[in-house]
Amino acid sequence: MWAGQLLTVALLAAPNAFATLARPEAGAYVTRLFHWDARISMLVCVLLLLLEQRLQREATPGRLRFSAGLLLPALALFAVVGGHEVLQALMKDARGTPHFGLLHGLSMAAFAAKTLCALALAWVTTFSRSSASAWRA
């Protein structure tokens, strides 16, 4: 569901806002949209990290294994913090300057990385045998 939400924001909501609204209104709308997306993504990443830790502790007590279930949400969380929390603050100050385009591109790359992490996590948890058995338990 999280990956679907990210794809919906990136492929439908943001482009349609700029296609139908005046540029300043679309910018304000998309800024709020990405703000809420960042909050949702941070919550989902933390919950996924906690869930994976619990599943691993139940499977092998006393030992935490570094796996895709830990790596992908951690990378996505890093992309959220870097892409939204850091770059958005810089973008506000750079609005109207040549640096804005560069920062916007970096922000888009961070969003794409977060989306790829969410899609990869969905793929891994859906088709991995160990994950499937953990979810059935």
Is residue 58 very low, low, confident or very high in pLDDT (cuts 50, 70, 90)?
Answer: confident
Is residue 115 very low, low, confident or very high in pLDDT (cuts 50, 70, 90)?
Answer: very high
DSSP the chain: -HHHHHHHIIIIIHHHHHHHS-HHHHHHHHHHHHHHHHHHHHHHHHHHHHHHHHHHHHHSTT-----HHHHHHHHHHHHHIIIIIIHHHHHHHHTTSTHHHHHHHHHHHHHHHHHHHHHHHHHHHHH-HHHHHHHH-
Instruction: Determine which of 91-95, 100-104, 120-124, 126-130 has the lowest per-residue pLDDT on average.
Output: 126-130
| Residue 22 in this model has a pLDDT that exceeds 60 | yes
